[in-house]
Structure formats: structure tokens, C-alpha cells
Amino acid sequence: MGLMLAAAEILACVAAQSGWTQATGAGQGLVPIEGDYIARDFHFKSQETLADLRLHYRTMGKQAKDKNGRTTNAVLILHGTGGTGAQFLAPQFAGVLFGPGQLLDSEKYFIILPDNIGHGKSSKPSDGMHARFPQYDYDDMVAAQHELLEKGLGVDHLRLVLGTSMGCMHSWVWGETFPDFSDALMPLACLPVQIAGRNRVWRDMIMDGIRNDPDWKNGEYTTEPAAALEVFRDISLIAGSSPIPMQKNLPTRDAADEYWHKYLGVGAKGLDANDILYQFNSSRNYDASGQLEKITVPVMYVNSADDFINPPELGIAEKEIKRVKRGKFVLIPASEQTHGHGTHTWAAIWQQYLKELLDASKN
């Protein structure tokens, strides 16, 4: 799971106001093509159906096929909980990876950035169905991604699946559900096991904070339930932040207080309680640990040591990667350059491992 995009935007805004953002170059000139694919009569694992499931996406580059008509250069990049494909257009990601001569040069690769079910411009509860929207899960989201690729974009093979946070977990689901569809997998910032312990508890806090707000009204509110969104916003700050850079940049009590008050001042604009509830609840039955041996392609699995959501002291990643035939796990040490859970979106920190994966998975 990842720090939700809206909360991340709050953090970025406050950081900018506090004068301690980091720049890594920009991705100017990288203009994606946007589109929508409508999945007709989409069946969810919950036995619910949606007549028209809208899947929004962004693409960059052009699709290439071999003499047999098989796609050879498609790269699927999957966002975290509450995010969208647009987040990968940020300078710290696109400016490092998608430019001329860079590892995922959009002149060479066909880059696909979907908005997953319940997110961005894809179908979601806040479109009008509210709490009557189908109870989607990660398997549904990956099934929808697969349909988007094959039926919407005509992509029958992937060079790479790269996922951050929730997208990291989707990468494991991809490897197990469609083991021959991609040449390589790069999961960033997750664990391939059932969500339990503190990771589950803080999700419960957010979901219960929404359900228990009397202004939520079982999802049929006309004004956003303010207390519910405050619970989400505040817990997300802790879950998504990194202690070392925060201590460096907020070294005094007054500096920390000022940062907090600016964070409060930004508020929770643009958030929807039903969307958040569904986004968190979609991880309820995730557990990739049962079928890791099915994954036969090279896997470069990367976490950061200052990740509140996936703390390294659990030792889970090191244990589980041993079951992946061609898997490698990398733990990035915590430093002033890492960004806690959000390190997954700062490509300069881990791009060397992406290069290693692309080299290892060349046909």
C-alpha cells in the first residue's frame, strides 16, 4: 500500500512552503496520450457486475511488434493506493527514466500508466454509486489491467511490470496470475504476504474512522465527512513520512509545529471518503505468498529501510524472495536522500537496480 496521492500532494505542498523540497531535474516534453477503455459487463470476484467499467490510461511512445505480431516494448507502471498514473510524470520519476537515453526512454518503450479501478479518472464510488459500487479487490484490479492491455491497447506481452506500493503488490499478482505475460517484474515498496500486524491495524483505523463518522451516513453523504478525512490525512502523514529527513529539516520544536500547522492549513481538498474507504478495503484479501514459485521471470524487488508500512525488521522480504526462482531483493538504507515509503517514486535512488533487471531479462 502506498501513501495516497492526495496526502502525498499535501506533504509536497507543505514541504515546498517550508523550503526543503529536493529537485532532481524535470520531465519537460513528456506529454502522454490519454484515453479511456470501457470494459463491458465486468465481473468482480464479489459476484457483482458493472455494465460499463471505465479504465483511464496514459501512454507514451509507440508500440513495437515482432514479425509474429507480438508486442516487444510495452512497460506497465502501476501506482499506489489513492494515486493515479499521472504521478509517474513527476520530475523525480519521469525526469529520471523516460527521457532520451534513459532506462525507459519513451522513444524506445511503449509506456502504459493506468488509473486503477476506484482511482483517478477510472470508475469509482464517487462517480455516483457511492457505497453501492462493487467491492473490488486486487485480483479485480489486475484482471482489469490485463483486459485494458489486450482488448483496449492490443498489447499481448510486456517487457516489464513495475509497481509502487499497491502497484508493487499488483506486480506479484501479475507474476502469479499471468506468469508468461511479462519478461520481468519490479515490485517497489511492499511485501508479498497477507497484510497483517501494524500494516493492517493502521488501515483499520482509517476505514473505521470513515465508517464511524456519523456524517458518513453509510456512504450517502452530500458533504464530505470532515472528521473521517482528518483521520485519513493525519495517519497518512505518519505512514508516508521518513524520520531522517524530517528530523534534519525540522530540527526544532518550532519548526515541527510550523510544518504541522501548514499541513493542517492545506486541508483535505479533493478527497472523497467513499473512494478512500474502497481503496483501503481493496487490500483485504491480498496474499501473494501462496504461489511465489509460479514466478519464473527475473524479479528485482526493492524496499527502503525507512518504510513505516513495510518495516525491514520483520525480515519478511528476505525470507519470501528465496522462493522466487530468479528473484533478488534489495533493501535501500535509510538516509537523508530516502523518502520513507515514498522512496519508490524517487527513481534516482533505485534506477541502478532497474538497469540490472533490464539487462538480466533481455531476450
3-state secondary structure of 228: helix
Q: Which domain holds residue 145?
A: 5-198+278-360
Question: Across the chain, how many H-helices and E-strands are there?
Answer: 11, 8
- What's the structural domain count of the chain? 1
Tell whether 255 is covered by a domain: no
C-alpha to C-alpha distance for 22 and 16, rounded to whole angstroms: 9
| Residue at 307 is within a domain | yes
Q: Is residue 227, in this structure, part of any structural domain at all?
A: no
Residue 204 within any structural domain of the chain: no
For the chain, 363 residues long, give each residue's pLDDT as a single digit of tens: 434 444 444 444 444 333 333 333 344 567 899 999 999 999 999 999 999 999 999 999 999 999 999 999 999 999 999 999 999 999 999 999 999 999 999 999 999 999 999 999 999 999 999 999 999 999 999 999 999 999 999 999 999 999 999 999 999 999 999 999 999 999 999 999 999 999 999 999 999 999 999 999 999 999 999 999 999 999 999 999 999 999 999 999 999 999 999 988 876 778 999 999 999 999 999 999 999 999 999 999 999 999 999 999 999 999 999 999 999 999 999 999 999 999 999 999 999 999 999 999 987
Specify the CATH number for the domain of residue 32. 3.40.50.1820
Does the pTM of the predicted model rise above 0.75?
A: yes
Q: Is residue 264 assigned to a domain?
A: no
In a domain, 224, yes or no: no
Decide the pairing of beta strands 49-60 and 110-114: antiparallel
Domain contains 260: no
Structural domain includes residue 242 = no
Task: Residue 211: count other Cβ atoms within 10 Å of its Cβ.
Answer: 15
